[in-house]
A and B are shown apart, each in its own frame.
Chain A
Amino acid sequence: MSQQTLSKNAIETKGLGKRYRSFWALKDCSINIPKGSVSALVGPNGAGKTTLLKLLVSLSSPSEGSASVLSKPPSQKPEYISEIGYLAQEIPMYSRLNAKEHITMGQHLNDSWDSDLATQRLNELSIPLDRPIGKLSGGQRAQVALGLALAKKPKLLLLDEPVAALDPLARVDFLKSLARAVTDADGELTVVMSSHLLADLERVCDHIVILASGETQLCDDIENVLISHKLLVGKRQDTANDEYTIIQQTDTPKETSLLVRLNNAKFHNSRWHIRDVDMEEIVLAYMGQSREKIDIKATKGVKL
């Protein structure tokens, strides 16, 4: 117990899996997300992002493995849920109730709740508090939902594709609000946000978790990821080497390029040109790796 309370991680999962009948929505997911980090949870559709977040907030229970969230195993008990703010993918709210009524609802349903904070935030964004939620724009709805999640004063905020349905401007506004909340919390708030829009996530996230085909592929600090992943380009040659792990290999008649994870950041080899890669390339490479058959040309042509 004392060891648990000392954990530096807000989230720890070990071999977490969820099966729906014969279909595994999430399998063998082992991640550690440090306290105070803002993590991007990325992966293709169906990779298990939503499932993972639901397991963490106890809207679903795991078929195997275990999780520890804020040093507690997930449960439906109010004292567990009260520390977590959660925003479901479809941003569900009562469409006939207005924002003010949602804030009142939160007041009635939570012991720790900051109505003033929520009201003030929404006022600053000029969101009409007395208009039914169903009549607000997508961006406004998302802002109200974020405001509600934050009014709980959570230690952990789980956001499931919050910006997916928003136009670019609303997306930027939402991420700004989120960034501000993170700043205001001064390291006390951990955020996990899933998305497939990587460019948006890079703006606010410092940590990345790549889920592909329901298995964790990578979970690390973004800076570390950028340092440890390189593109090696050279003549066609034997690629085996224990100094790196190949994530993606692309062969043309003349040359070979490898996207690798280096075991040693000081890797140097005269047979290869070493190039930096950006986050998008890395994510795509991991996603491509998870496919059973990689159509190399098609993968190479993909641009986000």
Chain B
Amino acid sequence: METFWYAIVTMMLAMYIVLDGFDFGVGILYPFIAKTEIERRTVLASIGPVWKGNEVWLVVSGGLLFFAFPKAYAAGFSGFYLALTMVLWLLIVRGLALGLRSHLNHPLWRQFWDIAFSCASLLLAIVFGAALGNLIRGVPLNPKGYFFVALWTDFTPGPDPGTLDWFTLLMGLAGAAILTLHGANYLAMKTEGDLNARAAASAKRSGWLALGLTGIAMFAIPFVQPALRLNYTAHPTGYLFTAIGLLALSGTMVFRRRQRDVAAFATSSLFILATLGAVAWGCYPNILIATTHPENSLTVFNASAGMYGLSIGLWWFLCGFALAMTYQIYVHRAFCGKVRLGPDSSPID
């Protein structure tokens, strides 16, 4: 049962990264791809109807983590206190930028929010990569199950690590490259003409960057946290995730070359899902790995809520999830297709 919930929470988080990930990528590319005001508005319109809904996945994932593993939720959120609070601020600033920039027709006003939107997107992409790096590296949990890490200490993943060290920064950059690739694929799928061509070119470039950085990070993982390799040696089925990930990434590059926009986006989504699946496989059963003493690690077994709660949660989760997916797919189908700005593009605009 605990394992099942571990899988569900991982899946929800991975879905969040896939969905909000493309609008972070779009944000990173935004100043480089959109040259004119009409292009900027087209780019923004491509994520306009979906980005708020995508953030709901973060809220739901957070809620499910709290519900299934309250002890890990308490430890993790208080331990990454500053980093998480800043993530919140960045999300708020990014939302403000998206909401506000088109309200006032003054070039300085729009420039300011454009830059804020792009910077916040880039920082968030780096932070989410670094967060994954922190989960892999582990945190200095005390015997009571709490820890506190500063934003940075000496930038080495030693016994007193910060949120940022060379490894988590590397993961952050890899995350930013992957989400840029993903966002470029999304944008190529949603646009036509010049924008489509520029997005496709960025996807190729960021694809190579993502491939390189992910390769280095994978090579570095065993030196930072040997536990993952032990897990893989014991349960080699997990290499399936790695294989799917690699296949999906090469698939993206191939589809990109053939200008198959939708297939490229689908494969970069799959790549993200598989990568996160691979990490989750390697970390299991740990949710938070202790760098202090292995016994302090918070696992799915010692951090979970009571059995009754988890079992009954399964029922409402399956019902609620099926329901949510049904109407989401129904609505998303109505919004799919290329974005064209025009007097009748949207009632509010």
The yes or no verdict on A and B being binding partners is: no
Residues of B participating in the A interface, judged by any CB pair closer than 8 Å: none
